[in-house]
Chains A and B, each alone.
Chain A
Amino acid sequence: SQQGEEDPQALSIQEGENATMNCSYKTSINNLQWYRQNSGRGLVHLILIRSNEREKHSGRLRVTLDTSKKSSSLLITASRAADTASYFCATDRMNYGGATNKLIFGTGTLLAVQP
């Protein structure tokens, strides 16, 4: 399977704490993206980090990328109950050869933030 792996599979924290999710992948990539999905709904794009970037910030989100280890992490700081959702990493493979990007999603982390 080309699917990436995420860990932990599930994470439960208290409001105000930080949440860290990790993603490992198998192939060389153009970029890695993180998405959020509330239960049974569509995915919302959070952040995109390109293969030549090592760290990126967006609000309370911090993403790191280590292409030598084929891994990425997503840190959510000062979590809120509204952050409760599933989080997926998705890799956009290098040299796919098409005019479109083909995303391979990781297995996902289910985050529960307790008020």
Chain B
Amino acid sequence: DTEVTQTPKHLVMGMTNKKSLKCEQHMGHRAMYWYKQKAKKPPELMFVYSYEKLSINESVPSRFSPECPNSSLLNLHLHALQPEDSALYLCASSFTNNEQFFGPGTRLTVL
């Protein structure tokens, strides 16, 4: 299995909602990543997990809370988001210092 899956594909939420994005891979990768991508812009790194431990937090606001329950799963918990947080959220995984495998993304709209 050489695929990274993300659910849901689309999410619309109000500013007071709590929701979660999910990501899964079964390639044995021990590094997993969350990126945010605005329209016509490159992906921007948010968080990196290495061996299920948070190793990089790119100064992301606390309304985004990542979680890595096991080596195959990565969650991004969302709470009290702002309209400017609307974007495509991409999950990726990799072996160390190699290419990253990306999921199809979750298109998030915050009303």
A→B interface (CB under 8 Å): 3, 30-31, 33, 35, 40-45, 48, 88, 92, 98-108
Contact = CB atoms under 8 A, between A and B. Distances in A.
A42 B105 CA distance: 6
Interface SS majority for chain B: strand
Given A41-B104, A105-B44, 18 more contacts: A3-B42, A40-B88, A40-B105, A42-B6, A42-B102, A42-B103, A45-B100, A48-B98, A92-B97, A98-B48, A99-B50, A100-B50, A101-B94, A101-B98, A101-B100, A104-B45, A105-B42, A107-B42
Contacts of B99: 33, 45, 48
Interface of B: 4, 6, 31, 33, 41-45, 48, 50-51, 55-56, 88, 90, 92, 94, 96-105, 107
Nearest to B6: A42
B107 A100 contact: no
Nearest to B90: A42
B88 A103 contact: no
A101 B33 CA distance: 10
Choose among B4, B50, B101, B102 the residue with the greatest number of A CB atoms under 10 Å from its CB.
B102
